[in-house]
Amino acid sequence: MMALEEILLHATREHWSTGHFNASESDHMRAICEAAKEAGTPAIIGTSEGEAKHLGYDIAASIRDGLRKEFQIPIFLNADHHKSVEAAKAAIDAGYDSIHIDLSALPFEENVAGVNEVIEYARRKESGISVEGELGYLRGDSKIQKEKIEVKAEDYTNPDEAKKFVALTGVNRLAIAVGNIHGISLDEPALDVERIRAIREAVPEEVALVLHAGSGIPDEQIKAAIEAGIANIHINTDIRVAFVNELRKTIGEHLDEVAMYKLDASAAGAMKEVIIGKLKLFGASNKV
């Protein structure tokens, strides 16, 4: 199987982006794989700490193994936004392929130290785990925001700091704050594409740039971000909305039905359609 690093390097060089989609149920994981298989692209499944606790770390890894057997495409399981070294280690122990250790709320030096602890732990396992660090402050959470969220100048990732951070840690991927906000914001987000370009030039090509909070960003801005060097885009809210809206509708229409697998089948289908649309937008089709 192709390593995640290799796929990301191709994406960076060829100006397309991989898609990272979050899951909290096995149905979601399957929908992500079905979409990726249909698009002909690797599946990257993310679980936040909350999503991972709901699924169970070991169970998430087991489902991934089953999906690999069934779908025969590269499937990667990422611990998304793990906010402590302990949480990241739990995901490594369970056999996750990839860790996003997000210590961006801490001062620079503490962020570097924590990321290095995770990298050392991962290397000791000799498992070829890909590690992502985060620099800059991402506001919001994965829902439809009811209030305007202001992005402040100091929230943005600084290219010089990014260069230093990468050199001091040796991360494989870097999550950056460039005007993106978690969730779907009230007003249209404005990505700082020039800043993405500057960060891309400041850090080695082998380090992939990651854009979190890809939901609710207009297509043209997504395309510009990919052109500027983004190689991995996270989508969570958009697929949550697709799943839950469809589930609500189906439950409302079938009040006597109690077989959950019948009620949520179309919800998984709605999620899959959104994912396929995103993968097309990212230029990720026909890569495996």
Residues annotated as part of the active site = 80
- Minimum gap (Å) between residue 50 Cβ and Zn ion: 12
Distances (CA, A) of 164 to 100, 108, 193, 205: 18, 10, 21, 15
The least distance separating Zn ion from the CB of residue 81, rounded to whole angstroms, comes to 5
Binding of Zn ion by 100 (CB under 5 A):
no
Distance CA 48, CA 71 (A): 23
In the complex, what is the shortest distance from the CB of residue 151 to Zn ion, in angstroms, rounded to a whole number? 14
Q: Are 18 and 232 in contact (CB under 8 A)?
A: yes
CB of 59 to Zn ion, least distance (A): 22
Query: Computed from CA positions of residues 207, 212, 218, 219, in that sequence, does the dihedral angle turn out positive or negative?
Result: positive
Residue closest to Zn ion (Cβ) = 212
Q: Which residues are annotated as a binding site for Zn(2+)?
A: 81, 102, 134, 182, 212
- The smaller minimum CB distance to Zn ion, of residues 51 and 246, is found at 51
**Residue 79 or 247: which CB sits closer to Zn ion?**
79
Q: Which is nearer to Zn ion, 82 or 234 (CB)?
A: 234
Shortest CA distance to 278 belongs to which of 205, 227, 228, 217?
217
**Applying CB under 5 A, does 278 fall inside the site for Zn ion?**
no
Nearer to Zn ion, 135 or 247 (CB): 135
In 3D space, the residue among 246, 170, 236 whose CA is nearest the CA of residue 203 turns out to be 170
The b-or-e profile of 203-223 (16+ CB within 10 A means b, else e) is beeebbbbbbbbbbbeeebbb
20 belongs to the binding site for Zn ion (CB under 5 A): no
The SS3 assignment for 217 reads coil
- Cα separation, 176 vs 213, in Å, equals 10
Which of positions 203-232 make contact with Zn ion (CB under 5 A)?
A: 212
Nearer to Zn ion, 116 or 236 (CB): 236
For residues 233 to 272, the per-residue mask of contacts with Zn ion, x marking binding by CB under 5 A and - elsewhere, is: -x--------------------------------------
At closest approach, how far in Å is the CB of 104 from Zn ion?
10
Nearest-angstrom CA–CA distance, 243 and 265? 10
Q: Annotated binding residues, as ranges?
A: 81, 102, 134, 182, 212
Please name the amino acid found at residue 204: P
Interface positions with Zn ion (CB under 5 A) = 212, 234
